[in-house]
Structures are given as C-alpha cells and as structure tokens.
C-alpha cells in the first residue's frame, strides 16, 4: 500500500494500546447519495475525531459524518498503519482498511442500485472485510434470485412433481432459452459462473483466491442483473409505443432488431 508523509497528529506522545484520544487533523469529507435528500451530498465530520491506539505502528480513527443539508449521519472507520513510530513528528502513514456504516441513510456514489442493491452492498462489505467466501455467498444468492424470479414470470417450473427442486442448471438453461438473461459474451458458459461461485463457497478455493475472484464474479453477476433490467426496459418501451408484440420473449429472443 502507498504511504504518505503527514504532519504529526499525536503531539509526539505515544497512544498506548486500547487508549482513546480526541485528535484534530481537519474535517473528513465524503460524498454519498443521501437517501433523505435523494441526491448526491457531501457528508462532513466534526472538528475532532476519535482515535484508538493499537500499538506503536497502528491507530484506529472513527468519525461520524453528517449530510450538509439534512443532517443525516453515517459512520466511517480507518485503520491507519506506519512502518515507523506513528506518533512521530512526520510519520509516513497508509490506510490499511476502510469501512463504512451507512445505516440505510446513504449509498456510495458508485454503488449498484436496483432490486438487488442490498445484497450487492453486503457482498462488497464482506469483501472489504477480507471475507472471501462470505462475499461470494451473496453473489450466488443474487444469481439464484434473478434466475428464479424470471422463471416465475416466464411460468417455468422450478420444482418437480414430488416437490423437490429442479437442478439449477436445468432451470437456468430453460430461463435463458426464453429470456436471454445471460449476456451473450458468455452465454455458453452461464452455468460455469454458478459452478465457480459454488466451488468457492464449498471450500474449493482458499480465502485469498476467493478475494481475487470476487471482482470478476461481481461483474458477471451484475451483467446478468443488467441484462434482465434491459429486458424490462425494452418491454416498457414497446408497450408505450403501442407495437403489436405478443410477448417479451419475442424481443429478448432477438426477433426485433
């Protein structure tokens, strides 16, 4: 991680492990999508921040930030590390970990929005806390939910006559035949994505490998969600234009250019 030299903020006094201190290092500002204001806002901290000592080379900084407009509050946390004594006159520091508690009051500007945004948020939070398999659990859940929801809309059976679930691979294939939920770039490997997610969850990959695979798996899962969203947008557009199309499957199947 990159380090940056900063002016000493502990007054040259070591902050012992487990001890708190209020420090003044300027205000912390972060831009979020404020849910109350329903727009992007700057959230700002107070003049003092809470600092917790974790040894000679690490400290924890907690901050409460408020929306400058409606005063909704969120919490953020930094783990700050240094190769040398962090209480020095000009320590070189780095952010080793950063976590947010937005408490359903705000969203990241670059965060995914839509029907599965909560699961995406949980997956991202697990990833940021170095929980590889945990983050993948949420991605597989999104993949399953979007597939089963489309299956219900398309009246595709997901259970056998005896009440047991039909294998997911079979359901996915049937769903994709009528709704094309798998982006075309990897439509021939749609089930491979689910198998990849499942193998990670079942311990076929180490936590380090799971963390490395998180981002590409996230992009592929969100690709499926976006494909379904576009399908619905096409349906609304056709309906608004009053075209005589019998079903959305005609659009999703590519019969309309």
Q: Where are the domains of the chain?
A: 4-108, 117-252
Instruction: State residue 2 phi and psi, 5-degree precision.
Output: -70, 140
Could you give phi then psi for residue 216, rounded to 5 degrees? -65, -35
The per-residue pLDDT for range 127-161, each reduced to its tens digit, is 888 888 999 999 999 989 888 888 888 888 988 88
- Residue 173, pLDDT > 70, answer yes
pLDDT the model gives residue 188: 62
**pTM of the full predicted structure?**
0.59
> Phi and psi dihedrals of 159, rounded to 5?
-130, 150
Burial letters 69-103, b for 16+ CB under 10 A, else e: eeebbbebebbbbbeeebbeeebebeeeeeebebe
- Tokens 């079979």 map to which residue? 170
Contact 220, 228 (CB under 8 A): no
pLDDT digits (tens, 9 = 90+) for 10-47: 888 888 888 999 988 888 999 988 989 988 899 999 98
């Amino acid at each position: 991680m990159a380090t940056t030299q900063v002016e000493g903020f502990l007054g040259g006094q070591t902050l012992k492990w487990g001890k708190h201190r209020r420090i003044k290092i300027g205000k912390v500002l972060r831009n979020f999508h404020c849910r109350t204001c329903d727009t992007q806002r700057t959230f700002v901290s107070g003049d003092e921040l809470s600092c917790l000592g974790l040894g000679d080379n690490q400290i924890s900084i907690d901050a409460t930030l408020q929306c400058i407009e409606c005063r909704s509050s969120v919490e953020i946390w930094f783990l700050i590390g240094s190769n040398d004594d962090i209480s020095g006159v000009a320590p070189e520091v780095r952010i080793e970990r950063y976590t947010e508690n937005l408490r359903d009051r705000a969203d990241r500007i670059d965060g995914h929005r839509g029907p599965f945004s909560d699961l995406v948020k949980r997956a991202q939070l697990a990833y940021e806390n170095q929980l590889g398999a945990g983050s993948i659990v949420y991605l597989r859940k999104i993949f399953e939910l979007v597939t089963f929801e489309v299956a219900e809309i398309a009246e595709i059976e997901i259970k056998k006559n005896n009440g047991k679930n039909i294998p997911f691979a079979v359901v996915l294939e049937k769903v994709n035949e009528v709704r094309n939920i798998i982006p075309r770039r990897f439509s021939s490997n749609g089930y491979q994505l689910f198998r990849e997610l499942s193998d990670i969850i079942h311990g076929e990959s180490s936590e380090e490998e799971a963390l490395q695979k998180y981002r590409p798996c996230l992009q592929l899962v969100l690709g499926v969600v976006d494909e379904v969203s576009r399908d619905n947008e096409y349906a609304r557009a056709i309906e608004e234009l009053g075209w005589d199309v019998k079903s959305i499957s005609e659009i999703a199947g590519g019969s309309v250019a």
